[in-house]
Amino acid sequence: MTLDPRLLGSADAVSIATAVRQGDISAQSVVAASLERIQQRDGDFNSFTEVLKDSALEAAEKLDQQVAKGIPVGPLAGVPFAVKNLFNVAGLTTLAGSVINQENPPAPTDATVVARLKQAGAVLVGALNMDEYAYGFVTENSHYGPTHNPHDLQRIAGGSSGGSAAAVAGGLVPLSLGSDTNGSIRVPASLCGIYGLKPTYGRLSRAGVALFAGSFDHVGPFARTVADIALSFDVMQGPDPNDPVCAQRPVEPTVPQLGQGIEGLRIAVADDYFARGAELQIFAGVEKIAQALGITRRVRIPEAHRARAAAYLITAVEGANLHLHNLRSRPQDFDPATRDRFLAGALLPADWILQAQRFRSWYRQQVMTLFQEIDLFIAPTTPCPAPLIGQEKMVIDGVEVLTRPNLGLYTQPLSFIGLPVLSVPLRETGSLPFGVQLVAAPHQEAKLLRVAAYLESLGIPNAQPV
């Protein structure tokens, strides 16, 4: 297979790595093309906060030398990738979207998942913009500026991993990493029209990642194809003693299962809470997926509205607790939107949090009971396509609501019980993209990816770069 470097902005990671391993294209030309696109286009997107030109080209040169000598290279050989700037990168200060962190020393080592991608041959080209301390759904960062949606530069990319989604959707890199607390992978994946995977809680190591709310936080990949999501997920799997919640499970490859189809899978549509509060095109997208999968069953996720409320409370408290010292001593150095929510979280009554945690345990049991009858269900990812940058309110189904919190309407109730979720992109001609969530029981990522690959084979998801 021969890849024209001029077309690498639309090439997927699997194709790039295959061509590099076979010697059909050099890793240096791939990485150079990615760096050139970043230079030419990221002025419009504002997705990168740091570009690692020299180290990326040096890593690519070493890969080419290995290929020339017949030394095996990894399954992601030569694939450019970038990471949300809350992942440690050796030699860089981990900003986590803040200015306070600029005073910290550079990270001594890479985050575990960054190191594993590098070990698989992927080449790190930079760090990406985000909401401060990952607290938000919009990536309108008061310190580093807003990230613009590649599909419409007047609109948000979503958050808090907005830079990660925009870089992939804009064709700057085929693969990126983000984190998800209450929807911070899924929301930007939806608004930017790409795939975003929130794995099972503890499935991928968070060692070397600046956490927001430790009992919620997941890390995962963005990409434009299911195969790229599966391959990157597979190379990042594995226990890590440096993350106490990283599950001590054997690696279970998902790539070989992509072509198995959906036969035997019991799939349902989430009803009730997940069937109201969105624009009509969002529900039409869910129905399109349901028809393609032959779904006839609908299920109710009990007390989803209370799950969202409980997630709000626990998130606010856990996040505020991490930053209490700076909230007391230098509140003026926070992004105002972040600071005010952290301060509110610090003042929440303890009995509210106890009740929220009790509810969390009950809710997890209810949802796990549901998975005794089905294998996965589908639901909207966001209630609308991307709002405008700076838009404080939006009207959905005739009701005016605040924009920022309501972008997580459908992701938050599924966030704090550790479920794996994949946002699948949809886009009709002439319209903005949006996503549909595929949701499974813990450690069932392979089922999500099987369904997504089947939909991809039908030509339904649309994740072409802008």
Catalytic positions, written as ranges:
84, 160, 184
466/453 Cα distance (integer angstroms): 22
Collapse the DSSP code of 191 into the 3-class scheme (helix H, G, I; strand E, B; otherwise coil) and give the result.
Answer: helix
Specify which residues 393 forms β-bridges with: 402
Residue 322, φ and ψ in degrees, nearest 5: -70, -20
* Residue 451 CA: distances (Å) to CA of 231, 271, 285, 421: 16, 19, 16, 12
Collapse the DSSP code of 415 into the 3-class scheme (helix H, G, I; strand E, B; otherwise coil) and give the result.
Answer: coil
Label the pairing between strands 80-84 and 123-128: parallel
Residue 351, φ and ψ in degrees, nearest 5: -70, -30
Q: State the angle between helix axes of 336-346 and 304-322 in degrees (0 to 180), rounded to the nearest 10.
A: 100
Q: Is 71 exposed, middle or buried (0-12, 13-18, 19+ CB in 10 A)?
A: exposed
Q: State the angle between helix axes of 13-21 and 53-68 in degrees (0 to 180), rounded to the nearest 10.
A: 50
Residues 6+ apart with CB under 8 A from 42: 48, 167, 170, 172
C-alpha 270 chain-centroid distance: 21
